[in-house]
Amino acid sequence: MMASHIVKPDTRNCKRPRELEPQMPDSPQLSSLGKSDSSFSESSGLFYKDESLEKDLNVLKKYMEGTHQKKAVFHKRERLPCIAPLLTTVEEMPQMVSAQVRGQFPEWLSGYLLRIGPGKFEFGKDEYSHWFDGMALLHQFRMEKGTVTYRSKFLQSDTYKANSAHDRIVISEFGTLALPDPCKNVFERFMSKFELPAITDNTNVNYVQYKGDYYVSTETNFMNKVDIKTLEKTEKVDWSKFIAVNGATAHPHYDPDGTAYNMGNSYGPHGSCYNVIQIPPEKVDLGETVHGAQVICSIASAERMKPSYYHSFGMTRNYIIFIEQPLKMNLWKIVTSRIRGKAFSDGISWEPQYNTRFHVVDKHTGQLLPGMYYTKPFVTFHQINAFEDQGCVVIDLCCQDDGRSLEVYQLQNLRKAGEGLDQVYNSVGRSFPRRFVLPLHVSLNDPEGENLSPLSYSSASAVKHADGKIWCAYENLHPEDLEEEGGVEFPQINYGQFSGKKYRFFYGCGFRHLVGDSLIKVDVVNKTLTIWREDGFYPSEPVFVPAPGTREEDGGVILSVVITPDQNENNFLLVLDAKNFEELG
């Protein structure tokens, strides 16, 4: 799993033209599956079939037939190439090395491209089981005046150091249970199963930014602050020391002034809550981290002991959009995982008997809006963008109708070859971009059984039921061509200028393999695709970097680290013109 961030040169002494609107700070995003080295990730109201839904099916049918809800066709593939070499332990390269440049990097492209992903998959004889478990390897590409240098270092987390010192896995990860110390006697090993497990600080998911500082993050309560010039860890930060949460996502959002928003769960005697977190944009004291963070809204989980798993959330200028989906975390299973000899991942399950629900929170007041928005069960890991229009929230997501993909990414599956690999790939749900429209100001007087969306440009519908619930049907944002590309994931936009605003383009990875094998530009207005692909090479998540002085949405370049399992070929940093996807360097 790799994540990336482009760090621009210091422009604090530059004046911004007055006519330009304030822009969002750059947002780090989760990247594509890839080679770890160069290597570069309610109750009954939620049930799918309920009485109110059955009553309104005939009324809804006329809307759903016109909402471009045609189900995507999965194209099975055969004779997939083996990618096992992409999933092996690599050596760090702490000394900066110069890269050979072919073509021409834009002279204005100056700064650091930061990436993170798993780079070590065993300690001694102990091996990790899941792709999410590998030890975090930090990557740095420095670009200046057309030149590129590279270095990498393993994150010196407490987990990494403890595993190294014992030459075995001593702290459990998402899909790997740490075994008891073999030096203990039988009784001691048995009793150790009843000890509270240490929480990993192997933050290998994403770079995030708070108050001008950079952290590497995962979904536990820990983050590690990093010096982006040296790639050295400088501090370990525990969210629970500042606010009452048991973790936070690795995908925060940012307002133009630098205020950050995130979400994290909390677990207590009254059940589970999803919490909206606000972090101030600036420091009061030089040495502070996320001091001043506060929970501005808590949303009760539909099931006390089975909250939904989520990886990201949506944000507009005024609202946070949280998606409560039927990918469930069984807290009892997770708490007892060590006793049962199971990894944390054993407590996560896809339960499509439940519907998916959208929750909308006012960022300024912390108020949870009363609207009850439901749709068919789906799972989403990454939102594309969200914006407000004509009294509605429009949210675009990469969606899967089958939420079992987390189970598939066991390393033993990814390392298969031949028919075994084909079977794994053909069992995985594909991800496709969809649009939902949530009307915000629904009243008791609004008619039942009619589409409440006023947006003429979107076929997505929102129909009010007799019980006040609003049933949402999506609009597909893609042409059928995307089905042949295996869908799209890891979406990126021109975040600085278009996050929370009406937009036209996003970029992502196509998945004709278990890892991304193409880069795709999607025009959500015309529903067209532009594709870059080179057989035998696997690009990471695209990173959009705007060209200086332009206000065009696609005026800039796409950066992606491209890797290959072929030891006779080289990995490379790719630069594409974001307009036409032509290679620049």
With a CB cutoff of 8 Å and minimum separation 6, the contacts of 552 are none
Two tokens at 469? 């619930």
Residue count of the chain:
585
Please spell the DSSP secondary structure of 135-149, one letter per residue.
EEEEEEEEEETTEEE
**Closest by Cα among 196, 175, 219, 429 to 311:** 219
With a CB cutoff of 8 Å and minimum separation 6, the contacts of 182 are none
Return the HEC string of 175-227: CECCCCCCCCCHHHHHHHCCCCCCCCCCCCCEEEEECCEEEEECCCCEEEEEE
At 339 the three-state DSSP class reads: helix
Cβ proximity of 377 and 326 under 8 Å: yes
Please spell the DSSP secondary structure of 420-461, one letter per residue.
HHHHHHHTSPPBEEEEEEEES---TTSPTTSB----TT---E
Measured CA to CA, the distance from residue 49 to residue 312 in angstroms comes to: 27
At 504 the three-state DSSP class reads: coil
With b meaning 16 or more CB within 10 Å and e meaning fewer, what string describes 360-391? bbbbeeeebbebbbbbbbbbbbbbbbbbbbee
Cβ proximity of 199 and 159 under 8 Å: no
Q: Is 311 annotated as a binding residue?
A: yes
Q: Is 382 annotated as a binding residue?
A: yes
Please spell the DSSP secondary structure of 517-552, one letter per residue.
-EEEEEETTTTEEEEE--TT-EE---EEEEPTT---
Phi and psi angles of residue 248, each rounded to the nearest 5 degrees, phi first: -150, 155
**Which residues are annotated as part of the binding site for Fe cation?**
251, 311, 382
**Which residues are annotated as part of the binding site?**
251, 311, 382
